[in-house]
Amino acid sequence: MAASSQARSNVTALSVVREQRLDVQLRQLEFSASLHRKLDLELLFDCVMAEGQAFVLFDGLRFHASDRGVDLTLGVMGQHRQRFELKLGDRPLGEIELARTKAFSAREEREAERVAENLVYPLDNALAHHEALLAAMTDAPTGLRNLECLEQQLPREVRAARRSGLPLSVILFSVDYLESISEHHGTAVGEQAWRAVADTLGESLRRTDLVFRSDGDAFCVTLPDTDLEEAVTLADRLRERVDRCVSLENVRFVLTASAGVASLSDLDNATQLLDRARDALSIAHRSGRNRVRSLHTDDQQFDPDEGPDAA
């Protein structure tokens, strides 16, 4: 009798099993509903990062869609990863990875797959929203992101730098008197010049770096995981590459460029960071153009040719 009683005590009542299944189903519905309320891509994956933990524990996630220019990482990407290609019918949406330091069990792999499956329809909506916003935030002459996009994206870059603890630098880059090409050779040639400069900048940068057409005749480059000295070195290299990147009927224009550089400090917000880069660019212009200047938070300037105490 004792053995029989013990055996019965190890059997979960059917009502308890049903209650557990109902609880899981309700949590999945709540998770799916939360995802459907997020149109912004960053907010969507913030939700996956936070609420997906109810189904499977993970330390970080990465979403990558190269054909759409989207690459987003949250948390810490450990060595053990679950990778899923997301599709809606035959249409690819991108790839998501869930990562952690500890291996996933077979059950956790299935739960991770369910998390990814819940993402498909909300992600399709968020990507459509992202593309519509991107179209409205594109500078027509250069094909780059415009000033409105910069004002939205730079705070995100700042938040990402805060989360990761990695440096963030900004280059405000201006081709000296580039607008005079339009005045002397016409609008079409002027737009070709803007496009050539934009292409030259893009070819010199990493996948994670972003280029924007900023106010006036300037370009803004955001540089994650880049400190001030590295950003100044890059700015000087960009300045050299811009020279002779514009041509007309096999004749190359000789161009010069100036740049202002700043790096994120502990007390900066996005506006303060960009303002400091703008001030550094003004100093470069006043110093005779065709040079790079930077500003630390203590207003100390750094010149790649003259060292950290340049005026």
Kindly tell me if the per-residue pLDDT of 176 is higher than 80. no
**pLDDT given for residue 307 in this prediction:** 44
Quick one: pLDDT at residue 105? 96
Of 45, 163, 33, give the one whose Cα is nearest residue 93: 45
- Measured distance CA(311)–CA(291) in Å, rounded: 12
34-84 pLDDT tens trace: 999 999 999 999 999 999 999 999 999 999 998 887 899 999 999 999 999
Helix pair angle (106-136, 14-36), 10° resolution = 20
Q: Where are the beta strands (DSSP E) in the chain?
A: 60-65, 70-75, 80-88, 91-100, 168-175, 210-213, 218-224, 247-248, 251-252, 257-263, 292-294
Both tokens of residue 214? 């900023």
Q: What is the CATH number of domain 6-136?
A: 3.30.450.40
Distance CA 197, CA 199 (A): 5
Distance separating alpha carbons of residues 233 and 292, to the nearest angstrom: 9
Quote helix, strand, coil % in the chain, to nearest 5: 50, 25, 30
Q: Where are the domains of the chain?
A: 6-136, 147-294
User: E strands of 108-195, at which residues?
Assistant: 168-175
Q: Using pLDDT thresholds of 50, 70 and 90, give the confidence band for residue 242.
A: confident
**Which tens digit of pLDDT belongs to each residue from 101-155?**
999 999 999 999 999 999 999 999 999 998 888 788 888 777 888 888 899 889 9
Q: What is the mean pLDDT of residues 272-279?
A: 94
CATH of domain 147-294: 3.30.70.270
Decide: helix, strand or coil at residue 113.
Answer: helix
Length of the chain: 311
Please, what is the average pLDDT of the chain? 84
* Residues 156, 162, 165: CA angle, nearest 5 degrees: 135
Q: For residues 272 and 278, what is the distance between their CA atoms, to the nearest angstrom?
A: 10
CA separation for the pair 137, 214 (Å, rounded):
12
CA angle 94, 96, 98 (to 5 degrees): 180
Instruction: Output the pLDDT for position 106.
Output: 95
Q: Does 300 score more than 70 pLDDT?
A: no
Assess whether pLDDT exceeds 60 at residue 187.
yes
Q: What is the pLDDT of residue 175?
A: 82
